[in-house]
Structure 1
């Protein structure tokens, strides 16, 4: 039972890492951050975080 919980926790950490792949700290940063804290708090950090430089440039080009 403990193994199932650990696998599900690491899977949730991998999902938040995948969601944060286009941010400043990237996949590994968000993965390790969600391992240290919970994936829920890492998701909240992603909500207020900023995207990486390439995405910011593309957004600036789109704006009139």
Structure 2
């Protein structure tokens, strides 16, 4: 079940990536609902996904790294 939730979260984030504000909002929601080991996967995905999207990189502040 948890793998499905992480994949669902990624798909939502990909769909809203056209709007940095909405992307940050959805990322915040995901961080509140996912389990710690799921967050690790999401953080890895986030940095991979935003490699070429500097406007979305500013959302990294929500990751508390």
Q: What TM-score bracket applies, with the shorter chain setting the length? A: 0.3 to 0.5
Task: Report the structure number with the largest CA radius of gyration.
Answer: 1
Structure number with the bigger relative contact order (C-alpha 8 A, sep ≥ 6) is: 2
Give the TM-score taking structure 2 as reference length: 0.33
TM-score for both structures, normalised by structure 1? 0.33
